[in-house]
A and B are shown apart, each in its own frame.
Chain A
Amino acid sequence: MDWNLFTSTTIYASVLALLSLGITLIYMTTKVFNFAHPRLSLVAAYAAATLMAYYAQSTGAQPNLTPKSSFLGSLTVPFSWEFYVIGVIVAMAFGVIAALVEYYGILKPLQRRGADYLMLMIATLAYDFLLVATLFIYNTHVDVRKVLARIGVLSTKMSMTSYDVTIVTSGGAFISGSFIFSVILILLLGVSLYLLLFKTTLGVKMRASVENPPLAEVLGINVERVYAISWIISGLTAGLAGYLMLMAAGAGNLKPISATSPADEIVVSAFAGSIIGGVNSIFGSIAGGLLIGYIELYIPNWLAIWTGNAELFKYSKVISMLAVAITLLFAPEGLAGLLKGERWKKLFGRKEEEGVSEE
């Protein structure tokens, strides 16, 4: 077992899971596949990087790359903890802002005018173009370049991997902070979404509004607010994905951040995760995203070792496309449809809601 492959794949899979979750949430509420979704992460990543660099500049902090010995092994913490907290919070905030602008600025007014799903899809593409243009202008702005250059980050090929917290254990294993962060994040996200959806009144309202909006409205549920909340959650997760992209550029199929990359490459994989999860299942989308992340890197890796042809690794993305095709043609309900056991029903959306209505 290759430890480095495992950690980088885990980070990549977590990014995909976060994005797939956001795409699914938006699809469930607004009934549109949001093509701009991975771009929201780039916006968040740029905002986070700029403010992190600005913080480092204003406090005069210099990256401290000398490892300290701790009980885990030699530990490197380049900046103080505020640096990372600022990054996470700013990324989440800008993810939410970019998502809400999309919803309230473009999609909702269009829906009110009776636009069909094609027009909404095209509108998300147009919003994507606007964000690309904004990032094109932003990431070559003199001031942005200067601030980022001060901590040695290239604004058009952004990566903060060298400022990630790292631990080298006594056994020689290399553990990055973003690996630990992504694992905790996914677990926390799964648990908190479960609690939100199944243990709170808001969760009941959310599920009701997704299942049958007119009926939910009749029963006095503010469907609009529920939709806004799901857009906020998907903005938050997109922001967190952006932070992970920034701190772990190079992990898995992630490239350093520019106006186009890695969103352009990752968008189809994120959709694949959402579709494999069953499109209408929140937990299915997290599972689907993780699954896509792992198979996209592990299957070509095994094939490459098995055939001795390292070239095969380049085709890794073909696997997620095949996964989409197989899912849509043969199991359109995805993972959520495949796992129909009693216990699974409780966790994986759709089927379960039918059960509730029967009770």
Chain B
Amino acid sequence: MNVEVLLEEIISFIGIYYILTAGLNVKAGMTGIPDFGHAMFFAVGGIVVGNLSARIAAAAAASQLHVSSWQAVKMVISNNTELMARVNEILPHMPGVSIVIILVSVIAALVLGGLLGWLASYPALRLRGDYLAIMLLAASEGTRIFAMYYKPLMGKTPTVGLTVPNAFGFTGNAGLWSTIFILILAILVYIYAERFHHSPSGRLFRAVRDDEASAEAIGKDIAKVRRDAMIIGSAIAALAGVAYSFSPWIAGSSVAAISIFDRVLWTFWPWALMILGGMSSNKGAALSSVILGALLIGPIRIYKNDIAAALHVESLGIDPGNFANALEYILVAALIIIVLFVKPKGLIPEYPSRTVSKDEVKATIDKIAREGAA
């Protein structure tokens, strides 16, 4: 096993899961909207990369393929595999176009994710608690089934999906640069989430979560807070989808409806990570992503077969390959249950907002005192 690849894989995994969990944290942790349809917003990223950026790439490469741009754009769905294979040969020689594709994907995913979040806030304003959770789960499942079989959206075969344009090909080392891209996105999201946590709106979101009635009594618009939380959280989730889709290590060479809408991977996992790190705790989300990223991709996903072999499970009549797959589930389940029992508030419980620094408070007091004296 190549150490460099392993390291890139771990970092990509941590980055994608951190971004996804940070998005969920805004919705579920800070505002108390139990979003069990998080995968739907994540999938927006995959759909943007598979459709929009693939079309841009095809249009840009059209002249070298001896077809008109319009024909190339149409071929993205009708003849996906063949066209994209040729586009991906041409694209590495067009660094300008590649950078445009990446930027457009990020912006489009943020906009579309926010838009879908805004749409999903319609039920979020009307329902509460577990009803809302089931509603969003049903919405996510419905979109998944629709996307899976709707050919203009996700291609002819639901399990194969659409080939991703090789936007990082121009750097010469797509694996490394996509990892750096994910890392940058994750750091930006971390800074944003941390600032948001301490900001007045972050405090307002938590106030609405803790006591809607009193927040309303002091004149806060509850509906707007819940809607904003859905928009921000969903936009961040869509960003995670873009990061995932561009990663040759995690997504591979194509995005398929069956994998980007997977509710276990993209809804329940972020939930587990959020509970593990601590609800409404951004630092906790980052820590749990790092722990699980290092645990799962490292020892379990790479060495699970070795672990199964070392335990000699086949002597008990157990199939080592399936034992290895089961290990992943057992680990996650055990981790969730232990955290729920031992540390229900998570590894880093919700921390108070840092508002004004001590010195600033002191300076203000001094100023008032001076003005009073004068």
Q: Which residues of A approach B to under 8 Å, CB–CB?
A: 32-33, 106, 109-110, 113, 115, 117-119, 121-123, 125-127, 129-130, 132-134, 136-137, 139-143, 268, 271-272, 275, 279, 311, 314-315, 317-318, 320-322, 324-325, 328-329, 332
Q: For B268, what are the chain A residues with a Cβ–Cβ distance below 8 Å?
A: 125
Are A133 and B318 neighbours in the complex by a CB distance under 8 Å? no
Q: For B329, what are the chain A residues with a Cβ–Cβ distance below 8 Å?
A: 129-130, 132-133, 136
Q: For A119, what are the chain B residues with a Cβ–Cβ distance below 8 Å?
A: 275, 340, 344
B331-343 CB mask vs A (1 if < 8 Å, else 0) is 0111011001100
Please classify the interface of chain B as helix (H, G, I), strand (E, B), loop, or mixed, using the class held by over half of its residues: helix
Complex Cα–Cα for A139 and B326 (A) = 11
Complex Cα–Cα for A73 and B272 (A) = 55
User: Does B139 sit within 8 A of A, measured CB to CB?
Assistant: yes
Complex Cα–Cα for A88 and B137 (A) = 32
- Contact residue among B36, B135, B145 (Cβ-Cβ distance under 8 Å from A317): B145
Q: For B325, what are the chain A residues with a Cβ–Cβ distance below 8 Å?
A: 136
With most chain B CB atoms within 10 A of its CB, the pick from A117, A130, A320 is A130
Contacts A141-B317, A321-B142; is A33 near B135 (CB within 8 Å)?
Answer: no
Are A122 and B340 neighbours in the complex by a CB distance under 8 Å? yes
B307-324 CB mask vs A (1 if < 8 Å, else 0) is 000000000011101110
Complex Cα–Cα for A275 and B134 (A) = 9
Q: List 6 A-B contacts (CB under 8 A).
A: A118-B28, A119-B340, A123-B337, A126-B340, A127-B333, A132-B329
Q: For B334, what are the chain A residues with a Cβ–Cβ distance below 8 Å?
A: 126, 130
Complex Cα–Cα for A15 and B252 (A) = 38
Contacts A129-B329, A134-B326, A271-B134; is A318 near B146 (CB within 8 Å)?
Answer: yes
Q: In the complex, how many angstroms separate the beta carbon of A116 from the nearest chain B beta carbon? A: 9
Are A121 and B340 neighbours in the complex by a CB distance under 8 Å? no
- Contact residue among A126, A139, A321 (Cβ-Cβ distance under 8 Å from B336): A126
Q: For A129, what are the chain B residues with a Cβ–Cβ distance below 8 Å?
A: 329-330, 332-333, 336
Are B131 and A332 neighbours in the complex by a CB distance under 8 Å? yes
Please classify the interface of chain A as helix (H, G, I), strand (E, B), loop, or mixed, using the class held by over half of its residues: helix
Complex Cα–Cα for A318 and B141 (A) = 8
The closest CB in chain B to the CB of A272 belongs to: B138
Complex Cα–Cα for A24 and B127 (A) = 19
Are B133 and A143 neighbours in the complex by a CB distance under 8 Å? no
Are A33 and B130 neighbours in the complex by a CB distance under 8 Å? yes
Q: In the complex, how many angstroms separate the beta carbon of B173 from the nearest chain A beta carbon? A: 36
Are B138 and A271 neighbours in the complex by a CB distance under 8 Å? yes
Q: In the complex, how many angstroms separate the beta carbon of A186 from the nearest chain B beta carbon? A: 24
Complex Cα–Cα for A268 and B131 (A) = 13
5 closest cross-chain pairs (CB), A and B: A321-B142, A140-B319, A129-B333, A133-B326, A133-B329
Q: For A320, what are the chain B residues with a Cβ–Cβ distance below 8 Å?
A: 138
The closest CB in chain B to the CB of A322 belongs to: B142
User: Does B126 sit within 8 A of A, measured CB to CB?
Assistant: yes
User: Does B149 sit within 8 A of A, measured CB to CB?
Assistant: yes
Are B341 and A113 neighbours in the complex by a CB distance under 8 Å? yes
Are B344 and A328 neighbours in the complex by a CB distance under 8 Å? no
Complex Cα–Cα for A246 and B148 (A) = 27
User: Does B175 sit within 8 A of A, measured CB to CB?
Assistant: no
- Contact residue among A115, A141, A271 (Cβ-Cβ distance under 8 Å from B344): A115
Are A325 and B123 neighbours in the complex by a CB distance under 8 Å? yes
Are B34 and A137 neighbours in the complex by a CB distance under 8 Å? no
Q: In the complex, how many angstroms separate the beta carbon of B144 from the nearest chain A beta carbon? A: 9
Are B337 and A126 neighbours in the complex by a CB distance under 8 Å? yes
Complex Cα–Cα for A322 and B148 (A) = 17
Are B138 and A268 neighbours in the complex by a CB distance under 8 Å? yes
User: Does B299 sit within 8 A of A, measured CB to CB?
Assistant: no
Are A268 and B141 neighbours in the complex by a CB distance under 8 Å? yes
Q: For A275, what are the chain B residues with a Cβ–Cβ distance below 8 Å?
A: 131, 134
Complex Cα–Cα for A325 and B332 (A) = 31
Q: For A329, what are the chain B residues with a Cβ–Cβ distance below 8 Å?
A: 123, 126-127, 135
Q: For A130, what are the chain B residues with a Cβ–Cβ distance below 8 Å?
A: 329-330, 333-334
B24-40 CB mask vs A (1 if < 8 Å, else 0) is 00001000001010000
Q: For A109, what are the chain B residues with a Cβ–Cβ distance below 8 Å?
A: 341
Q: For A33, what are the chain B residues with a Cβ–Cβ distance below 8 Å?
A: 130, 133-134
Q: For A127, what are the chain B residues with a Cβ–Cβ distance below 8 Å?
A: 333, 337
